[in-house]
Amino acid sequence: MPDSVGANLETVRQRIARSAERGGRDPGDVVLVAVTKTLPVERIREALAVGLRIVGENRVQEALPKIEEIGPASVDWHLIGHLQTNKVKFIEGRFRMVQSLDGVALAEALDRRLQSPLDVLVEVNVAGEPQKTGVLPVDLAALAGAVNGAQYLRLRGLMTVAPMVPDPEAVRPVFRQLRSLRDKTAQQLGVALPILSMGMTDDYAIAIEEGATMLRLGRALFGPR
């Protein structure tokens, strides 16, 4: 039998509360995104039944049939994986947020396809890992400026995927740098950027201590794939 999402959610919430206390924060300020890549619709419905409302999918082509079956109204669907330019036509009316904008050309292509506002995050490859997507910190200002100047894109914050390491403490500087980049970008643009999407199953406790406002959790909620 698959792990109980309800029981796992309670464990996650307890851990969030402890981490928030260590960071001097309100645990209510931390939002959960249930990451459902490779999972069937039945597991998504289980998550919805215990009160989770934000669902994160990595691939547009995998998400589309799930969105069609469950519907876009009852769920806040987030695209958390890389968005290909040839998939921007599928975003409007389906996804509430795209967390993975990583280039000016992509941002412009998405903006051209939209007819209504869309919340987006800029993905930053803080650690500079060559195998990962995300804009490098040195290029963040140009991309954030382009997104902020777009007609329909609504820049809400930054996202990062930290390196996979044995000791979660090793990625604390990555989260700390993303928060610093967010603060600097908000000041440069003169806009509020409230969302820091950082922290996954193996490192979300550290991410909370460093200011995460949005966690993307798969195994922590659903068990091993």
pLDDT reported for residue 61: 97
Distances (CA, A) of 105 to 45, 78, 109: 36, 20, 6
pLDDT reported for residue 108: 98
E strands present in 134-213: 153-159, 195-197
Residue 47 near residue 36, CB atoms below 8 Å: yes
pTM, whole model, 2 decimals? Answer: 0.96
E strands present in the chain: 31-35, 54-57, 76-79, 97-101, 118-123, 153-159, 195-197, 214-217
Predicted confidence (pLDDT) per residue in 37-76, tens digit: 999 999 999 999 999 999 999 999 999 999 999 988 889 9
Angle, to 10 degrees, between the axis of helix 5-22 and the axis of helix 41-49?
Answer: 60
Among 2-11, 25-34, 50-59, 143-152, which is the least confidently predicted range?
A: 2-11
Predicted confidence (pLDDT) per residue in 98-148, tens digit: 999 999 999 999 999 999 999 999 999 999 999 999 999 999 999 999 999
DSSP characters for 57-73? Answer: ES-HHHHHHHHHHH-SS
Question: Domains in the chain and their CATH numbers?
Answer: 5-219 (3.20.20.10)
Predicted confidence (pLDDT) per residue in 145-187, tens digit: 999 999 999 999 999 999 999 999 999 999 999 999 999 999 9
Predicted confidence (pLDDT) per residue in 192-211, tens digit: 999 999 999 999 999 999 99
